[in-house]
Amino acid sequence: MKLGILFSGRGSNLGALIDACADPDYPAEIVIAICNNPNASGIATAEKAGIPLQIINHREFESRDTFDAALDVTLKEAGVELVCNAGFMRILTDGFVSSWHNRQLNIHPSLLPAFKGLHVHERVLTAGVRISGASVHFVRAEMDEGPIIAQVAIPVELDDTPESLAERVLACEHELYPMAVRLVAEGKARVQGERVIIEGDPDMKAAPLFIPPLGK
């Protein structure tokens, strides 16, 4: 499956997907990475890996619609079959989301539907919840909404800071995202109604939940 990665910052999940795609047995390849921030440190990650890279600066467009139209054209010209948001800090228009319905994924650093939006780890600690994590889901028009493919849960420690919690969640994201993309690329994750069904699950459960350490 041909992937298009959208990112805005350090590109750590981009790096995780690059590493996954380097395995000859992985069922996907990155055909383009698109960044809306010309100063993003993740640009160097794509360049080092030799991934085709396009910088489309949203500040150079008159509106969200024209920016999203440029994204759409670039992705389709590259032959992208699945769009992966990897720290892409833009709210996409309804038209773009509709164009890529059930063909666009996002990763979010919480156990959705809890703690949507920004400043997640600060809000988690303020709320005093005992478990946090990350989620990969199909994108819908509403922010951080959509059928969940997979989640990972980690305990919130008593001495956690937003920085320490973010670091542990991010390490889990780097395993979770490639796993979720694999499920989609292999045709094992499909949307039924607004839930994801995983092929081979006799109970027709929704998303798998993994408790770290992953792969242990």
Q: Is 183 exposed, middle or buried (0-12, 13-18, 19+ CB in 10 A)?
A: buried
The answer to whether 97 and 142 have CB atoms below 8 angstroms apart is: no
Q: How far apart are CA 186 and CA 154, in angstroms?
A: 27
Instruction: Please give the single-letter amino acid code of residue 189.
Output: A
**Which one of 108, 121, 137, 174 is the catalytic residue?**
108
How far, in Å, are 55, 86, 102 from residue 12 at the CA level? Answer: 17, 8, 24
Active site annotation includes 108: yes
Where would I find the beta strands (DSSP E) of the chain?
Answer: 2-7, 29-35, 53-55, 82-85, 104-108, 131-138, 148-155, 189-192, 195-198, 209-210
The residues carrying an active-site annotation are 108
